[in-house]
Amino acid sequence: MTRVWLPSSLEELWPLWAENPGAALYAGGTDLLVRRRAGLVRPEALICLERVAELGRIEPDGPEVFLGAAASFSRLLSSPLVTEKYPVLAAALQRIGSPQVRHMGTLGGNLVTASPAGDSLPPLYTLDAVVELVAVGATRRVPIAEFIQGPGQVDLRPGELVSGVRLPATDGNLQHFEKVGSRAALAISIASLAVAGRLSDQGEVLQIKLAWGSVGPTVVCAPAAEAALQGKKLTPETLAAAGELAQQAASPIDDLRASREYRLALVKNLLLRLAP
């Protein structure tokens, strides 16, 4: 029988983890417990982060917003700090799995799983999220694009866990997320696009960040496409030109869900949806 520890604070967690170095951390368990059941991982014990108070916080911190790693997607979606300030993130969280998965799954789990299809990741890239990591007596902050190093690979050192994500203040008036899956709900993304930026009163791009999911080993950004849109209106023509530049940055694969060619077409076509 596997022992499961349920600490309620980091102070309780650290000695438990030190005494059980073979234990695996989990939050909602929607990735780890599935992998365990499939026999892909065999942790000696489990430490659940769900009740660790510091990891469940959703709160403003100066101009930033802190989203605790163990706050479930449902809790994040019930916070106006997320839905009103960061609609691009809210739209992505709303498309994750099913109500049951959103009730259990967390941002920390999505980040550490680091799947190319992780739906929270593209919005977090466009919002310049910073991942906060904590260990005994130490905290460090890493921009999300440096934290995610590849599929399933993250910059997490031994003895560290993700405490949360910091989102800078945004005065952008453009936030958009779209995901293409094989059905409306409970679908792993075939491709997704997150957009955050600012348009002038005349509709010209003052600032724009674009990030695609599921079209490369990790989130795909396309600085050349962003630069091509700078100062321009979001017309079908400017978006098509930027979409072609983005296709050069993408490296999708063929898999059970879609072909490489279909995904490449989506890279451009998802961008065209920004045309008014």
Considering only residues 174 through 193, tell me which ones interact with ligand FAD, judged by CB under 6 A. Answer: 186, 188
Q: Does 119 bind ligand FAD (CB under 6 A)?
A: yes
Alpha-carbon torsion (136, 138, 143, 147), positive or negative: negative
Shortest distance, position 45 Cβ to ligand FAD, whole Å: 12
The bridge status of strand 153-154 relative to strand 148-150 is: antiparallel
Is position 123 an interface residue for ligand FAD (rule: CB under 6 A)? no
Question: What is the token pair recorded at 204?
Answer: 């010209």
**Given the complex with ligand FAD, which of 166 and 172 has the nearer CB atom?**
166
Residue number with the smallest Cβ distance to ligand FAD: 109
- AA identity, residue 111: L
Question: Is residue 45 within 8 Å of 20, Cβ to Cβ?
Answer: yes
d(CA 187, CA 96): 8
What's the closest the beta carbon of residue 54 comes to ligand FAD, in angstroms? 10
| Contact between 49 and ligand FAD per CB under 6 A | yes
From 10, 13, 23, 27, residue interacting with ligand FAD (rule: CB under 6 A): 27
Least distance in angstroms from the C-beta of 208 to ligand FAD: 24
**Does the footprint of ligand FAD cover residue 53 (CB under 6 A)?**
no
Q: 49 or 205: whose CB is closer to ligand FAD? A: 49
- Interaction between residue 29 and ligand FAD (CB under 6 A): yes
* Among positions 7, 13, 17, 28, the unique one binding ligand FAD when judged by CB under 6 A: 28
| Residue 218 lies near ligand FAD (rule: CB under 6 A) | no
Rounded CA-CA distance 99/55 in Å is 21
Q: Which of 136, 127, 98 has the alpha carbon at shortest distance from 219?
A: 127
What letters, b where the CB count within 10 A reaches 16 and e where it falls short, cover 57-96? ebeeeeeebbbbbbbbbbbbbebeebbebbbbbbbbbebb
- Residue 70, token pair as written in the block: 């163990």
Stretch that binds ligand FAD, among 13-21, 24-32, 76-84, 224-232 (CB under 6 A): 24-32
97 in contact with ligand FAD (CB under 6 A) = yes
- Token pair 């789990």 is found at 109
Of 81-89, 102-110, 242-250, 265-273, the segment contacting ligand FAD by CB under 6 A is 102-110
- Of the pair 187, 272, the CB lying nearest ligand FAD is at 187
Answer yes or no whether residue 114 interacts with ligand FAD by CB under 6 A: no
Question: Does position 10 bind ligand FAD by CB under 6 A?
Answer: no
Nearest to 73 by CA among 35, 33, 31: 31
Indicate the SS3 state at residue 210.
strand
Binding residue count for ligand FAD, defined by CB under 6 A = 31
User: From CA 252, how far away is CA 247, in angstroms rounded?
Assistant: 9
Cα–Cα dist 130/254, whole Å:
31
Q: Which is nearer to ligand FAD, 57 or 233 (CB)?
A: 57
CA-CA-CA-CA torsion sign (205, 130, 92, 65) = negative
Contact residues toward ligand FAD (CB under 6 A) are 24-32, 34, 49, 55, 69-70, 96-97, 101, 104-106, 108-110, 112-113, 118-119, 161-162, 186, 188
